Amino acid sequence: MIPMTIDKKILLQYGLPPISPVLVSALGKIRQGFDEGGSAKPPIDLSEYLELGIRLATMSEEERKSLQFMFDKLTEDKK
Protein backbone atom coordinates (compact mmCIF):
# COMPACT_ATOMS: atom_id res chain seq x y z
CA MET A 1 0.00 0.00 0.00
CA ILE A 2 1.25 3.49 -0.86
CA PRO A 3 1.53 5.60 2.30
CA MET A 4 -0.77 8.63 2.34
CA THR A 5 0.68 11.93 3.38
CA ILE A 6 -0.98 15.28 3.80
CA ASP A 7 1.33 18.23 3.57
CA LYS A 8 1.22 19.81 7.03
CA LYS A 9 2.56 23.07 5.58
CA ILE A 10 -0.75 23.53 3.77
CA LEU A 11 -2.68 23.14 7.02
CA LEU A 12 -0.42 25.61 8.80
CA GLN A 13 -0.58 28.07 5.90
CA TYR A 14 -4.36 28.30 6.22
CA GLY A 15 -4.45 28.01 10.01
CA LEU A 16 -6.34 24.72 9.97
CA PRO A 17 -6.33 22.19 12.79
CA PRO A 18 -4.50 18.88 12.40
CA ILE A 19 -6.36 16.19 10.49
CA SER A 20 -8.14 13.60 12.59
CA PRO A 21 -6.36 10.23 12.80
CA VAL A 22 -9.77 8.61 12.27
CA LEU A 23 -10.13 10.43 8.94
CA VAL A 24 -6.62 9.45 7.89
CA SER A 25 -7.38 5.83 8.78
CA ALA A 26 -10.63 5.88 6.79
CA LEU A 27 -8.91 7.41 3.77
CA GLY A 28 -6.20 4.75 4.05
CA LYS A 29 -8.82 1.99 3.92
CA ILE A 30 -10.48 3.59 0.90
CA ARG A 31 -7.12 3.92 -0.81
CA GLN A 32 -6.27 0.30 -0.03
CA GLY A 33 -9.59 -0.77 -1.59
CA PHE A 34 -8.73 1.14 -4.76
CA ASP A 35 -5.24 -0.36 -4.86
CA GLU A 36 -6.63 -3.88 -4.65
CA GLY A 37 -8.86 -3.27 -7.67
CA GLY A 38 -5.96 -2.57 -10.00
CA SER A 39 -4.76 0.67 -11.45
CA ALA A 40 -7.16 2.09 -14.01
CA LYS A 41 -6.02 5.65 -13.28
CA PRO A 42 -2.86 7.11 -11.82
CA PRO A 43 -2.96 7.37 -8.02
CA ILE A 44 -4.44 10.57 -6.66
CA ASP A 45 -2.46 12.97 -4.55
CA LEU A 46 -4.71 13.74 -1.60
CA SER A 47 -2.69 16.82 -0.64
CA GLU A 48 -3.57 18.39 -4.01
CA TYR A 49 -7.27 17.77 -3.42
CA LEU A 50 -6.98 19.17 0.10
CA GLU A 51 -5.23 22.28 -1.20
CA LEU A 52 -7.90 22.73 -3.90
CA GLY A 53 -10.66 22.37 -1.31
CA ILE A 54 -9.03 24.95 0.92
CA ARG A 55 -8.60 27.38 -1.97
CA LEU A 56 -12.24 26.96 -2.97
CA ALA A 57 -13.40 27.42 0.62
CA THR A 58 -11.43 30.65 1.05
CA MET A 59 -12.47 32.31 -2.23
CA SER A 60 -14.24 35.67 -2.17
CA GLU A 61 -17.74 35.95 -3.59
CA GLU A 62 -16.40 37.68 -6.71
CA GLU A 63 -13.86 34.90 -7.28
CA ARG A 64 -16.62 32.32 -6.91
CA LYS A 65 -18.78 34.13 -9.48
CA SER A 66 -15.86 34.33 -11.92
CA LEU A 67 -15.06 30.65 -11.48
CA GLN A 68 -18.72 29.68 -11.92
CA PHE A 69 -18.91 31.81 -15.09
CA MET A 70 -15.83 30.08 -16.55
CA PHE A 71 -17.16 26.65 -15.60
CA ASP A 72 -20.55 27.41 -17.19
CA LYS A 73 -18.85 28.54 -20.41
CA LEU A 74 -16.75 25.37 -20.53
CA THR A 75 -19.71 23.08 -20.00
CA GLU A 76 -22.36 24.72 -22.17
CA ASP A 77 -23.32 22.98 -25.40
CA LYS A 78 -21.89 24.33 -28.63
CA LYS A 79 -24.60 25.94 -30.75
User: Is pLDDT at 61 greater than 50 in this prediction?
Assistant: yes
Between CA 74 and CA 65 the distance in angstroms is: 14
Q: What percent of the chain has pLDDT over 90?
A: 3
Number of domains composing the chain: 1
Between CA 76 and CA 60 the distance in angstroms is: 24
Question: What confidence tier does 1 reach under pLDDT thresholds 50, 70, 90?
Answer: very low
Give the pLDDT confidence score for residue 36 in this predicted structure: 60
DSSP 58: T
pTM, two decimal places: 0.38
Question: What confidence tier does 16 reach under pLDDT thresholds 50, 70, 90?
Answer: confident
For residue 53, the enclosing domain spans 8-75
72 or 36: which carries more pLDDT confidence?
72
Note whether 48 and 8 are within 8 A (CB). Answer: no
